[in-house]
Structure 1
Amino acid sequence: MKKISKAVFPVGGMGTRFLPATKSIPKELLPIIDKPLIQYAVEEAIMADIDTLIFITSASKHAISDHFDPMPDLREKFMRQNKIQLLEKLDTLPLSITRVFIPQGQPLGLGHAVLQAEAMIEEDEYFAVILADDFIVGDNSTTAELIQVATDQRAATISVEQVPEKRISSYGVIAPDTWTGNFCQVKSIVEKPSVADAPSDFGVIGRYVLPHKIFDYLKQTQEDKNNEIQLTDAIQGLVDENLLRAVKLSGQRFDCGSHAGFVLANLHVAMQNEELKETIVEHVNNV
């Protein structure tokens, strides 16, 4: 298998749950303390030895491109002022990394967004898909773990975790075969089932490694009732070919597409900083 070196970031969504903030700020730039979600996602990709970042974006989201620009004028200013700490904060992306921005046109679902990257992926190539909304903390890169299993199994991989019953209907849910260590073959996958219809409690989260043939399945996928093309529906084609493995998430995930998840992610990161932790504990004790 060819080395997996490209990652697709679908960032064209409207972020309506975070209005009015997302009227002018892409939701992927909402910060966890002082670093935006998209930067954490990009850093995870780079840890997995990804060197080409493909952003599926919208015309109104130029701020994401701006965030990863080197900003030479500001860098020169900080150098003159000997503000080394601020210089380091400008290094949002190594110069060796290639960035590609592709407009989605209309936000017509995750599957539609991934389909826009087809021209960037060679026919014998696998690629990663990373959703910045899923903020993951841990010792390892989740994307790197998926790439390892994909390479060993010569199959597509998706990241899964056990989700509460009340949240089942918000996820794509798999029917797992026997687990071998941290991965298993997937027998079926269902998009947002009811609790009664869910084949398990393992929900798919926003990390994937997919082959080029996913584009063929996406083109065959019917739009849902919201006129969107769902990636989960297209992935069923890989299941039918015995080309899908699920990998258990080893880190801790925060759903930053929700208010609660976003707040908890900020709190988690803040508690790793002794100064912020002391302030938070003092405040909580006085509430």
Structure 2
Amino acid sequence: MIRKAVIPAAGLGTRFLPATKAQPKEMLPIIDTPTIQYVVQEAVDSGIEDILIISGKGKRAIEDHFDRNFELEARLEEKEDEALYNEIRRLGDMANIHFVRQKEIKGLGDAIYYARFHTGNEPFAVLLGDTVMSSVIPVTQQLIDIYEQYKASVLAVEEVPHDKVSRYGIVGGKPLADHIMEVSDLVEKPAPDQAPSNLAIAGRYILTPEIYKTLEQTPRGKGNEVQLTDAMRILLKRECIYSHTIEGKRYDIGNKLDFLKTTVEFALRRREFAAPFLEFLKETVSQHQD
């Protein structure tokens, strides 16, 4: 049973400067909801209520967001705004959220290593703090179901164009069933002619505690950082790893163009302004085509 989740959120967010100079990129809102709130909600919807967020310098806003704000709650009560009051109260109660700081930005693998005392000898989920999933069954729940079947680490993957594999960690292996593969190779950001497939790691993992031992043995790799993909290659020599092609859509909030696309898609799902917003988009596109 997977009881704990780890959400790495310590990156500097340099691709969103100057917006991220004084606020975490994970707090950038998709309309009115911070990105990381969607990630926490996915963990909760997957049955996980013990969550460790790996933060860093300048990330205090994340802690404040999931804490109680009694003054704000009192003001909303005075205004008799029950819906918004309940939403704000829910943030403080949605999960048992803990925080630890990554003292030096040394990569995703190093960030995960900070969770070793919290997760102990249990398998745990990892959800990247700048990646949002849209699916009927939460993607983390999909991975938990695979873990319960194989009792081994599971990676969420998605198909990407071959000419873009150099942006991702790529896996290769032997298909076992629909959407499931036994992994035999992992490569961090390979050249297209060196990629074992076009299946990219999609920001969600179930990891066994053995990952901590392999992280201790993992030298710095791409970008002079400790790469989680490199640690999993070592882990692969000791135990099986499986991948699951996600049923849903991944939204990478790590770059500006994808952030804009995500905002538009999520806005079109909002009943209160989807119709007028769609009309605005049509008018805007028409003007640019003239």
Instruction: Note if contact 1:39-1:92 (Cα within 8 Å) is conserved in structure 2.
Output: no
2:155 is aligned to 158
Match of 1:253 among 246, 250, 254: 250
Instruction: Give the CA deviation at 1:139.
Output: 0.9
Percent same amino acid among aligned pairs?
35
CA distance in 2: counterparts of 1:180 and 1:132, whole angstroms: 29
Instruction: Give the CA deviation at 1:193.
Output: 0.4
CA distance in 1: counterparts of 2:277 and 2:189, whole angstroms: 37
Provide the alpha-carbon RMSD of the alignment. 1.4
Q: Mark the CA change 1:209 to 1:232 in structure 2 (over 3 Å): closer, same or farther.
A: same
Confirm whether residue 237 of structure 1 aligns to residue 238 of structure 2: no
2:171 is aligned to 174
After TM superposition, list the pairs within 5 Å mapping 1:6-85 onto structure 2.
6-85=4-83
- SS for the counterpart of 2:120 is coil
- SS for the counterpart of 1:24 is coil
- CA deviation string 1:43-102 (max 9, x = no partner): 000011112110111131110000001212221221222111221330353637222111
Match of 1:147 among 136, 144, 148: 144
**Long gaps (5+) in structure 1:** none
Instruction: Note if contact 1:185-1:242 (Cα within 8 Å) is conserved in structure 2.
Output: no
CA distance in 1: counterparts of 2:200 and 2:76, whole angstroms: 45
Match of 1:282 among 275, 279, 284: 279
Confirm whether residue 189 of structure 1 aligns to residue 186 of structure 2: yes
Partner amino acid, structure 1, of 2:251:
F
TM-score, L = length of structure 1: 0.95
- CA deviation string 1:15-65 (max 9, x = no partner): 000000000110000011110110000000001111211011113111000
TM-score, L = length of structure 2: 0.94
**Long gaps (5+) in structure 2:** none
CA distance in 1: counterparts of 2:95 and 2:270, whole angstroms: 30
Q: Give the aligned length.
A: 284
